[in-house]
Amino acid sequence: MTMNSNRCSKPLTVLLVLVLAVSAVGPATALSVSAADAPSEAEVGEEIETTFTLERPFSEYEEWTLNGETNLSDVTWTVKLYDQAGDKLDQQSYDGTSFNHSLEQSDAFEVEVVLEGTVTEVAAYSYDPAQQTLLAELNQVRDGGSSDTIDAWEFRPYTADSDEARTAIADAEQAIADADDSGADVSAAENTLESAVSAFDHGNFENAGNLASDAQESANSAQQSSQQTQMLLYGGLGLVALVLVVGAVFWYRSQQDDYDKLG
């Protein structure tokens, strides 16, 4: 009975090893993409450049179209094809916020897309979550028009004024958190902070910064007041304790004097 069980288990073990091996190899051959120097934030008017690298472009389809889109302005896309040795096979450039580049089965092992453009004005600002704009979206378009997004990247656009206001609000948030931890009443500071955030979301950065500074000062004052109150309370408790101790000493001595007299 034991021998039959061992004989059955060996084929199952081999099958399991083969399944795991296929699973491990499968994903490694699929199309993959990475981005170099993709910013998480950038100033309006700033010129940026990002390189996207697609490996194994023909792992799934022998023919397809690479589509790219961006919210940058003054855009140039440069598509470069490389073989497995790293030698360049072809290069082509496109202007505009989008492009389409046809790919056919070849010796190309890697496709490199270089995006150059300028950060545009922000249509609407938001403090939390912070406003985002599209750096790039790369799509795989097949015959018949069906399309899959390969990947997409976003970043936070800002101006000098918006970044200054954002920093002021963040400082106020920290001051309120510290004051709240100390037990201070921060309700007034929180109300002012809400007004600062609202001003930021409406693009009124000067007002947002001023209100944030007021909220920070209010929080600091509340914390100082709370600390002073605690010190007075502790001082009062200490004084009461001292009076009790002195009173106890006098009482004890008076009791001793009375005992000596009786003696």
- What's the pTM? 0.74
Domain boundaries, the chain: 30-158, 162-234
pLDDT score, position 106:
84
Confidence label for 15 from pLDDT (cuts 50, 70 and 90): very low
Confidence label for 77 from pLDDT (cuts 50, 70 and 90): very high
pLDDT score, position 145:
82
Q: Which residues on neighbouring strands pair with residue 79, listed in sequence order?
A: 92, 113
pLDDT score, position 258:
60
Query: Is the confidence at residue 261, as pLDDT, over 90?
Result: no
Determine the length of the chain. 263
More confident residue, 239 or 254: 254
pLDDT score, position 118:
98
Cα–Cα nearest to 62, from 107, 20, 25: 107
Contact 171, 220 (CB under 8 A): no
pLDDT score, position 174:
97
Query: Is the confidence at residue 3, as pLDDT, over 60?
Result: no
When pLDDT is averaged across residues 39-62 and rounded to a whole number, the result is 96
pLDDT score, position 207:
98
What CATH class does 30-158 carry? mainly beta
DSSP E strands in the chain: the ranges are: 32-36, 41-43, 47-55, 63-69, 73-82, 88-95, 98-104, 110-118, 133-141, 147-158
pLDDT score, position 19:
41
Question: Which phi and psi angles does 127 have, rounded to 5°?
Answer: -80, -50
Query: Is the confidence at residue 26, as pLDDT, over 60?
Result: no
What whole-number distance in Å separates Cα of residue 113 and Cα of residue 80?
A: 6
Q: Name the pairing type of β-strands 63-69 and 98-104.
A: antiparallel
pLDDT score, position 123:
93
**What's the one-letter identity of residue 247?**
G
For residue range 143-194, what is the model confidence (pLDDT) as tens digits?
888 999 999 999 999 999 999 999 999 999 999 999 999 899 999 999 999 9
When pLDDT is averaged across residues 14-22 and rounded to a whole number, the result is 43
For residue range 90-147, what is the model confidence (pLDDT) as tens digits?
999 999 999 999 999 888 899 999 999 999 999 999 999 999 999 999 999 998 889 9
What whole-number distance in Å separates Cα of residue 66 and Cα of residue 147?
A: 10
What whole-number distance in Å separates Cα of residue 212 and Cα of residue 170?
A: 8
Reading across the β-sheet that carries 32-36, which strands appear in turn? 32-36, 47-55, 110-118, 73-82, 88-95
Is the Cα torsion angle 59, 63, 65, 66 positive or negative in sign?
A: positive
pLDDT score, position 85:
92
pLDDT score, position 164:
98
When pLDDT is averaged across residues 59-77 and rounded to a whole number, the result is 96
Contact 14, 31 (CB under 8 A): no
Query: Is the confidence at residue 18, as pLDDT, over 60?
Result: no
For residue range 194-244, what is the model confidence (pLDDT) as tens digits?
999 999 999 999 999 999 999 999 999 988 875 666 565 565 556 556 567
